[in-house]
Amino acid sequence: MKFNFSLDAAIALTLTTVFFYTSGQIYLNGYLSPFLIDSVVLNFSVQDKIYVGFLKGVNEYLYILLAGLIIFFGRSIFIYFEFGKAIDKKLTSFIPQNERPKKTVLRIHNSEFFDGIEKSYSTVALTTLLTMILFWGVLQAFVHIEKKGKNISTEVMKDVRVLPKVKSDGQELFLIKCGSSLCALIDEKKNVSLVEPKNVVLLGSNFKEK
């Protein structure tokens, strides 16, 4: 299997950015859902979502990365030691004789033997299976990240006083989350309000106890 380093690095960086962006979006949705707030209303920036996704999803990302490396090396070993030969022979027996691939294939250049193995039935089946497993793992990671945010806010709803104290329009409230456009605030009676960030004052009493 050949690699183009610059292309592979660009793909890896893109997938990593997409993962952290999605993780941030999912975490914020999970965190805000118990307050009946849609994250779209607060208008979080792309950078905010990627940052939150990195903070809340870095462990899941490392697990997925480790799983991906294990899958890659496992597949390479499967191909190198020709473990799929017996499977290919069994699968080929179900194909009519006139539809089977020719054993002798003319090549333009002296390509490696393993180029042919890459096209084997067992390798294709294994690659498909491992890809589906990895995709399922990514979905489970997103589910776990969403639950993480929802569990935190569910605990907060039991006692909103654990949130930072702020003042808005002369009222002492508690800060749920601030986006680019609005901040979500809540009072002790669990009334939620949306206020522009410029009208929110973070009280000094938040720092005295620390």
Is the pLDDT assigned to residue 115 strictly greater than 80? no
Structure tokens at 25: 């979006």
Q: Mind listing the pLDDT tens digit for each residue in 1-53? A: 455 667 778 888 999 999 999 999 999 999 999 999 998 999 999 999 999 99
User: pLDDT at residue 84 above 60?
Assistant: yes
Smallest Cα–Cα separation from 60: which of 139, 152, 131? 139
Task: Map out the domains of the chain as residue ranges.
Answer: 5-158, 159-210
Torsion angle, CA of 104/105/108/110, rounded to 10 degrees?
-50
3-state secondary structure 1-31: CCCCHHHHHHHHHHHHHHHHHHHHHHHHHHH
Distance CA 198, CA 93 (A): 73
- Lowest mean per-residue pLDDT among 78-82, 92-96, 171-175: 92-96
Residue 101 DSSP one-character state: P
d(CA 27, CA 150): 8
More confident site: 82 or 75: 75
For 178, other C-beta atoms within 10 Å of its C-beta total: 19
Tell me the pTM. 0.78
- CB-based contact 205:165 (threshold 8 Å): yes
Q: Which fold has domain 159-210?
A: SH3 type barrels. (2.30.30)
